[in-house]
Amino acid sequence: MSVNSQVARNQSGQTFNSVFESTNSLATLFSGRYQGGQRMVEWFTGHSLNTDRWTLQNNTALPTVSMQNGIDGGLFMTNTGTGYGGSLSFNNKRQYGNPCSCIIVLKNTTTDGITYAGFDRNGAPSTAGGLGGSNSTAVIEMGGAVNMSLVVTNAGSGWDRTATSIATANTDWHCVKIDVKTSSTNLSIEGVLEATRALAPSTTMQPCIQGRNAGSNATTYVRYFEAWNT
């Protein structure tokens, strides 16, 4: 369904004048001052990753990426590095902050390789005092013994993991939504609220997809990433 045709289908055949108006509330538009913020949509469709947007970040090893010559293949990332592995990030251009949200369509295909995706201050979800020092994170953790979980940290607080109902190995595609709110963070999978935590990152952050070797290489596929400030 295209932008225009879906919008047209909504009601009465009337469409929005703009993509902007289709995703911003009336209160945002007409409150007397503009209250909306930055938005990013990445379709991961092309012959190569747009490295003007995404930086391949070497935390302990540089990730390798390739567009997949297969239906709905998206981008494939392999991470050989243990520890903090490697990431796709915005090279510390931190344009998103509390409150903010993101929707990601992705999968992790190796249970001993772990994928993290969402927002992170340093582009590498890590423990307190870990990579880059005090970190803030709001990501889904996919793979490993705790798959799948919501992980939240704030300005160097400890690794805070909240389990979802998907607690066993799962290598399927998922539609993941992370909502960073004023004092809590929510994780939804396929539209179902799977985890909520009374903790939220308070610092500025960047979109991030990280993989790390936790027994085998992390293998991550992603075909959509939308992020916006709320």
Partner 1 sequence: MPQRKDSLYEQLNPLTTIAGQHFVEYFSGDTLDNFRWGKDTNDGTYAMSDSVDGGVVLTTGSGIYASACIGLVADTTSGSPTMINCFDSQGAVIQFIEQWGTGAGGINASTHGFHSERRGDNAGNNGCALNTSLWSTNYRLRTCNSSGSQTDSDSGISAVGGSGIATNKNFFRVEIQPTFASLGINGVLTNSHTTNLPSGGLAPCFGIQNHSNNGASILHVIYCEAWNTA
Residue numbers at the binding site for partner 1 (CB under 8 A): 1-3, 6-8, 10-12, 14-16, 19, 21-26, 39, 41, 43-52, 67-74, 101, 103, 105, 173-175, 177, 188, 190-192, 223-224, 226, 228, 230
If the CB atoms of residues 5 and 168 are measured against partner 1, the closer one turns out to be 5
If the CB atoms of residues 122 and 147 are measured against partner 1, the closer one turns out to be 147
Least distance from C-beta 50 to partner 1, angstroms?
Answer: 4
Least distance from C-beta 93 to partner 1, angstroms?
Answer: 18
Least distance from C-beta 27 to partner 1, angstroms?
Answer: 10
Radius of gyration of the chain (CA): 17
If the CB atoms of residues 44 and 84 are measured against partner 1, the closer one turns out to be 44
Q: Measured on CA atoms in the order 39, 103, 229, 17, is the torsion positive or negative? A: positive
Least distance from C-beta 37 to partner 1, angstroms?
Answer: 13
Is 72 exposed, middle or buried (CB count within 10 Å of its CB: 0-12, 13-18, 19+)?
exposed
If the CB atoms of residues 80 and 101 are measured against partner 1, the closer one turns out to be 101
Helix (H, G, I), strand (E, B) or coil at 212: strand
Helix (H, G, I), strand (E, B) or coil at 9: helix
If the CB atoms of residues 33 and 47 are measured against partner 1, the closer one turns out to be 47
Least distance from C-beta 12 to partner 1, angstroms?
Answer: 8
Q: Catalogue the E-assigned strands of the chain.
A: 39-42, 55-58, 64-67, 75-79, 86-89, 100-108, 113-120, 137-142, 149-153, 160-163, 174-180, 185-189, 192-197, 206-213, 218-229
